Structure 1
């Protein structure tokens, strides 16, 4: 039996109709949805049905609710980072598009590396440590991603102050650690409790992962990490050079 042949629950039917209004521009980003009373009157359903319909939209990231104020259409803050060669740093790329990038340092500490990280960063077996930095990335002051980076101990110790306040790659370049290449892969993951809180999404929400290792001359690794971002606020584009 197809979906059209099934009886779709009322709350799903209503949320899909509201979704179409949002997509069509009938309800604009940032505007308030009609009150519960008006929605109840329009569809002639119970309050609980309307609340379930709004909850569906919240879960999809289309609507946000504010206690005592109502439900609002989520504003669009999606940005694209161009993956290109030669490398363009994220901050510069977004600035060229008129988008401001800022960060909030969450964690910066020396940790013992796992066996996998030890291999990636080519850490000595007698002292397999690296600096772990977690930072929240905001585009035009809206949380869009969490950056988790492991940094060689000699770099982390020397540049701790700068790294806590700036993006990693530009700091390395300014201090004569030239990045010759970046090996990267884009994957998907789901939000755990920590990520759901930082990125304001539900537990299990699908997220994009940009996992990378940056190398300097002679194929020597400098940092390894991943940027985990909301797909509705961040994406990647590719430019190829001959």
Structure 2
């Protein structure tokens, strides 16, 4: 059965959640799993790999698999006025934002449609990695309308918070219009930047942000570690 390894993995996830296995405790070896569940070696290996990829265990060459330390997921409220730094403060966590790359270019068709742009309009594209404490939490590709934030590059160094630039320099009042959330797996670059396995689940959040709920100013696509965050949608 293609799902045999999932059954085994789910068994140990429940056992860890119920404290049957404690942090640092050794799990049965692949050979022991074969005997316990009556499965082939390949199935046992896939079950261990799934537990490892999802952050429940760590494996040490020659010693075995051990229950990993797990952080309590941070609650992130998706609302019209959500801001990363403020949300992390609510969780008692120091937030950091790193600008990895920026460029100014003409808007593509998708961006023109969402941001109500013409063919001649330009956007700033920023690649931002955000951290919760020392842990990388998310990667965000954000596109801002160039004529609304002219000369943005003059305000990117040092980079602390995008929304501080928008509100402090440009007197904008960012307001989230919509967000689409879907589960996914990271590509190779995102996995490296987020320091996770390519098989670790992430949340993709595509958002459209306006100024005072009227003029679209930003389209963003965030990739968020599934093991470090849980999203709460606010209808207020």
2:138 aligned with 1:145: yes
Distance across 1 between alignment mates of 2:27 and 2:18:
16
- CA 1:66–1:171: 2 relative to 1, 3 Å: farther
Distance across 2 between alignment mates of 1:64 and 1:111:
43
Distance across 2 between alignment mates of 1:36 and 1:174:
56
**Post-superposition CA distance 1:58-114 (Å, at most 9, x none):** 2333223355675342512411112345x2422112212212222333221223321
- CA 1:106–1:40: 2 relative to 1, 3 Å: same
Distance across 1 between alignment mates of 2:213 and 2:177:
14
**Native 8 Å contact 1:179 1:214 kept in 2:** no
The answer for unaligned runs of 5 or more in structure 1 is: 1-5
Distance across 2 between alignment mates of 1:124 and 1:44:
61
- CA 1:77–1:65: 2 relative to 1, 3 Å: farther
Residue of structure 1 aligned with 2:84, choices 80, 90, 110: 90
Residue of structure 1 aligned with 2:99, choices 95, 98, 105: 105
Structure having the higher helix fraction is 1
SS in 1 for 2:209: strand
The answer for unaligned runs of 5 or more in structure 2 is: none
**Native 8 Å contact 2:180 2:205 kept in 1:** yes
Distance across 2 between alignment mates of 1:141 and 1:158:
28
**Post-superposition CA distance 1:20-44 (Å, at most 9, x none):** 2211123345x25347499579959
Residue range with higher mean Cα deviation, 18-27 or 36-45: 36-45
Distance across 2 between alignment mates of 1:155 and 1:32:
55
Pairs within 5 Å for 1:1-242: 14-29=8-23, 31-34=24-27, 36=29, 43=36, 51-66=45-60, 70-72=64-66, 73-84=68-79, 87-126=81-120, 128-153=121-146, 154=150, 156-162=152-158, 165-179=159-173, 181-191=175-185, 192-199=187-194, 200-203=196-199, 205-217=200-212, 219-241=214-236
The residue number in structure 2 matching 1:3 is: none
CA RMSD of aligned residues (A): 3.4
**Native 8 Å contact 1:77 1:139 kept in 2:** no
Distance across 1 between alignment mates of 2:178 and 2:2:
45
**Native 8 Å contact 2:26 2:65 kept in 1:** yes
**Native 8 Å contact 2:29 2:65 kept in 1:** no
SS in 2 for 1:125: coil
- CA 1:132–1:28: 2 relative to 1, 3 Å: farther
Distance across 2 between alignment mates of 1:33 and 1:20:
16
Distance across 2 between alignment mates of 1:158 and 1:64:
44
SS in 2 for 1:158: helix
